[in-house]
Amino acid sequence: MDVISVIRTKRDRGELTDEQIDWVIDAYTRGEVADEQMSALAMAILLNGMNRREIARWTAAMIASGERMDFSSLSRPTADKHSTGGVGDKITLPLAPLVAACGAAVPQLSGRGLGHTGGTLDKLESIPGWRALLSNEEMLSVLDGTGAVICAAGDGLAPADKKLYALRDVTGTVEAIPLIASSIMSKKIAEGTGSLVLDVKVGSGAFMKTIEDARELASTMVGLGTDHGVKTVALLTDMSTPLGLTAGNALEVRESVEVLAGGGPADVVELTVALAREMLDAAGIRDADPAKALADGSAMDVWRRMIAAQGGDPDAQLPVAREQHVVKAPSSGVLTRLDAYDIGVAAWRLGAGRARKEDPVQAGAGIEMHAKPGDTVTEGQPLLTLHTDTPDRFEYALQSLEGSFDIGSGADFTATPVVLERIA
């Protein structure tokens, strides 16, 4: 095999053979194929695509580059969830303990924020003492003892994907649907979960801006899961408006605890319960009611045990930013639009996110939203509160909020459902 022939095959719109795919993934992982050569192949895939067989084999090759986890020793069926990322997307935090409270085991491998999208691990690390990095043995112990674990993926899980993802991030090939799908699914399949529910975001604050692109990505990932023996379902969900009333790390943890306590914003509760029902159904658990588990406190009990098992103090005070700035409504009327991307960029500029993976984040930084689209507002009332430890960030964040919302009449507003489609 030689990498030039592999690149030329895909450049000329040909199909890669199983042998070519196996070889190039293995050779790239070992360093035999250079970054610039894999960049050329990734760009050819972006431009010319892959068929289902190629994507399935590419995914299998990335899984084979590392270890596979095994949860067969658990007494519960396993179910996992993956979100493609958004603004205010704190759903994993209440969802994992909720599904565990209903009888499934939830091995949730999560990531960090990059750019305008938040990261689950960054949010949880605002809890004093909480640890994201667990060994496989520690992960299994927490999962066995509490029913849920949220942690970082180990270096041994799909190392080819880790290397390729970093390359795609700097070569303009992040948007290639075959590479997005195989990246997500290689880690989830190697993780060893028995079933998987995908939350594929659609809208300005998502990577998939159109319903057509989101549907293609979701269908591709559901097909990959099915081909590898993992029962997989996808929900397409709205990300034109931020989820909930907060965007930022400690701010979102507080809101998640409110949901676990039986309150919280209606859209967060609705999506959490919808995903929980899908996960439980996929795991074969059909006699549990996740809405009841939120109301009776059993999900909160699992949350507290899960946080404590990973070194966190569930009773500790969460960080609060030193400085705040209030954005007031310029007129009275109905808030008809609140753009998710603009809110996400502003939260990022306040210190809640990072431009590079190695950048630090501020635990208390972010944005509180005092109204959502459809709400009536009056001139001068607080619309947004910006939080940061470094007040010189306010001006930069406010620039991204210019044109981020509209206030009009009720006739100008049409509600968008949280769940747009289901693909199975």
For the record, the structure tokens of 291 come out as 């809405």
Residues 301 and 184: their CA atoms lie apart, in Å, by 30
Residues 51 and 40: their CA atoms lie apart, in Å, by 19
187 is an active site residue: yes
183 is an active site residue: yes
Scanning the structure block, which residue is given the tokens 């969460």?
318
400 is an active site residue: no
How many other β-carbons are positioned within 10 Å of the β-carbon of residue 403? 9
* Phi, psi torsion values for 301, nearest 5 degrees: -60, -45
144 is an active site residue: no
**Given 183, 204, 240, 400, the catalytic residue:** 183
**Given 57, 81, 112, 168, the catalytic residue:** 168
Give whole-number Cα distances, 360 to 216, 338, 342, 363, in Å.
Answer: 34, 27, 21, 9
For the record, the structure tokens of 110 come out as 């999560």
Residues 15 and 31: their CA atoms lie apart, in Å, by 24
Of the chain, the end-to-end C-alpha distance in Å amounts to 37
For the record, the structure tokens of 281 come out as 């159904």
**Given 80, 161, 227, 238, the catalytic residue:** 161
Helix (H) or strand (E) holding 398: helix 394-401
**Given 81, 187, 201, 305, the catalytic residue:** 187
116 is an active site residue: no
**Given 57, 82, 215, 387, the catalytic residue:** 82
Query: HEC states along 74-139?
Result: CCCCECEEEECCCCCCCCHHHHHHHHHHCCCEEEEEECCCECCECCHHHHHCCCCCCCCCCCHHHH
Q: Which amino acid is at 366?
A: G
DSSP string, 156-172: TS-HHHHHHHHHHHTTT
Q: Point out the residues that are catalytic.
A: 82, 161, 168, 183, 187
